[in-house]
Every structure is written in structure tokens, then in C-alpha cells.
Amino acid sequence: MCLAMIDKAYLENLRRRISGLETEMSAPGVAANPQKMQALMHDYSHQKKVADAAEGFLKLQDAAEENRTLLADVTIDPELREMAETELAEVTAQLPEAEKAVKVALIPPDPSDSKNVIMEIRAGTGGDEAAIFAGDLYRMYSRYAESNGFKVSVLDVSPSESGGYKEVVFSVEGEMVYKKLKYESGTHRVQRVPATETQGRIHTSAATVAVLAEAEEVDIEIKNEDLRIDTYRSSGSGGQHVNTTDSAIRITHIPTGVVVQCQDERSQHKNKAKAMRVLRSKLYEARQQQIEAEQSAARRSQVGSGDRSEKIRTYNYPQNRLTDHRINLTLYKLDRVMDGDLSDVFNALYEHDIELQIKAHTDKTARG
């Protein structure tokens, strides 16, 4: 779809489509079919966004044309001419942003953007320092979530004796959470002088992050016969927190071989419920990746593959520097970033991804 094709007839067709979707969503029986209702709502939201952007674009175009017509009249009153010139300049300045808004609206939405997320942070190379860094990343994301009114809940944790975590799995719930956090999957590298380093040498260590869109039961059906559930005794950090019952849960999804576990709760029932949340989300991600691969349009791969082996970011403490290698972004405010101030990073990633998606959509349209 090119902008030249967006006219009043196109807008009227969109409005009819939106009206039809409203009628369909209110039809008897649709509410009882969650999957169909979800698909209709996604389509409705997308069409409404396109219609609003197209309407704003067309209004500006009409205003520009009216002022050009006035200015073409040699008998126009000087005061009216000045007003028309001013308004034409204002409208012309607004048109590029309106054009971009239409292009962005035309991009098919990621169905996962509105979902909550499950994040996994694992210590990588670097021993104790990597575990401490994994803890720092968890704190960073928690602070970001807190400042945005999101809810963070730990699902599974494996503490390190030296501090931090060997692994921590947690959920983040809130409005459009996945849209904000989905670019965080990959390897995060830290460069700093560890507290135990006596000679002041800078060490490099790493942690891996995975971001999963949290799937609901309507998204993924899991059959009980496809599961192997094992119980075992939780491994605590010692003292009064050691769990003396077999409340920890490990679930294996036999068809895919995906394994998840949870030992954070003392209740076996609660651990199972949390483990199922993680399993459902892992299976959902695998299905989405398969769909994207088949369509050759993996939108997330525009800014990075999301593979944990991909080095996406470096945190350099001596220079107070953060560098995102995917978009060549460098910020000298690492202290604020580690305290949860991630807006500049996330906005830059989103804008870069949007530009790539617009280009891909334009190229696809040009090829017919």
C-alpha cells in the first residue's frame, strides 16, 4: 500500500470494515469463542489505527491544497494571502510526520505486543562476577518495571553463594509490556573491576537474557498426557529457608523436549502453576518463531535475532558507558540505566525497528 492510494474512498472502505468488525464482535456466540474474539479485536485495533492515521493525513493534504488554491489567485487580499502562506507552511511541516504515522499504522501489529512477559536471566561466563551481574540486571529491570507501574513476580530463582543469581526467572505484568521489553533477549556483557579484585584490573563477564511473551491457555493447548512431572527437594541457600519437602517441580513437555522447573514456592501446587506459565510461554514462542520463519518476516530479527548467543549490549562501568551493538547506540549514563532508566535505550530500539519495518513493508508493496 503506497500513500498515493490513500484517498477518501480508501478511508470510507476502512470505516465500513471497522463497522463490520464491530457488528461481528457483538454477534451472539462470538464472546464464547475467545480465540475468534481475540483475532477480531486485534484486527479492529489495527484497522482503527490505520483509519485514524489516514484521516489525519488526508485532512492535512486537503488543507494544503486549499491554501495552494488560494495563493494561486492573483486577486487575493494581501492579509488573506499572508494567512494562507502561514497555514500552508504549518501544514507542510506537519505532513512528513503524518505520512510516517500512516506507514507505521499500515505495518501489521505484533500479536504478542500486548502480552505480559516472562524473563529469564542466567549467569554466563565470568564465574561469581557473572552471577552478581545477573543480579544487577534483575534489579535494573525491576526498577524499570516499578517506575512504569508494572508488576514483577519471581517464578524461579537459583541464588549464587557470592551474591546475585545463577539464574532468575520472573514475570512482568502491565500494559504493552512485551512491546517494551522484547528487544532485551541476548547476551549482555559487563566490564568492571570486581569488588574482590585487589589489583584494580577490569574483568569481563556476561549474562544471558531471554524474553518470552506470556501465553494464555487460549494461545496454547497443552495435553496432560504430553507432560512428565517430577518432584524434588528445593535447593536453598541454607539456614531456615531450606525446604525439607519435595515441593520443587520439573515439567518436561515430551513432544518438544522443553524442560521447565520451579522451586521458589513452598507449595508444590504453586510451583506447578508457575512452571506451567513458563512452559506455555516457551511453547508459544517456539510456535511464533516457526510462523515467522515460514513467512520469512520475523519482525524481531530486524533488531536482532533474540538468540541468547548474540552479544547485544556492553555495560562498561569505568567509563559509565552503555553500548547497544545492534543500533550503534552509546550512552554515558550507565549509573542511571542500571537504576532502571531504560527509556532512551528502548525508544531508540523501537524507532530503529519501526524504520526497518517501514522499509520492509514498502519493499514488499513495491514488489507487488
- List, run by run, the mean pLDDT of 10-residue segments along the chain (368 residues): 71 90 89 82 89 93 93 89 94 93 85 90 91 96 97 92 91 94 94 81 93 84 90 59 66 92 83 90 86 56 54 96 96 97 95 86 65
Domain boundaries, the chain: 3-106, 117-356
In this structure, what are the phi and psi dihedrals at residue 184, rounded to the nearest 5 degrees?
-85, -10
Residue type, 5: M
Residues constituting the chain: 368
Number of H helices, E strands in the chain: 8, 11
Place of cell 475467545: 34
141 vs 345: CA distance, rounded Å: 13
72 vs 257: CA distance, rounded Å: 72
Three-class DSSP category at 190: strand
What's the order of all strands across the beta sheet hosting 311-316? 151-159, 165-173, 117-123, 203-213, 186-192, 311-316, 321-324, 329-331
Residue 12 CB-density burial (10 A; 0-12 exposed, 13-18 middle, 19+ buried): exposed
pLDDT of residue 364: 67
Are the beta carbons of 322 and 343 closer than 8 angstroms? no
Q: Give me the helices (H) in 174-326, please.
A: 177-181, 268-295
Which residues, at least 6 apart from 41, have a Cβ–Cβ distance to it below 8 Å? 25
Three-class DSSP category at 182: helix
Rounded to 5°, the CA angle 121-130-251 comes to 35
Three-class DSSP category at 61: helix
179 vs 113: CA distance, rounded Å: 4
283 vs 278: CA distance, rounded Å: 9
Please give the CATH number for the structural domain made up of 117-356: 3.30.70.1660
Three-class DSSP category at 78: helix
Q: Is the pTM of this model over 0.85?
A: no
CB atoms within 10 A of CB 236: 13
Q: Give me the helices (H) in the chain, please.
A: 8-25, 34-71, 78-106, 128-147, 177-181, 268-295, 334-338, 343-366
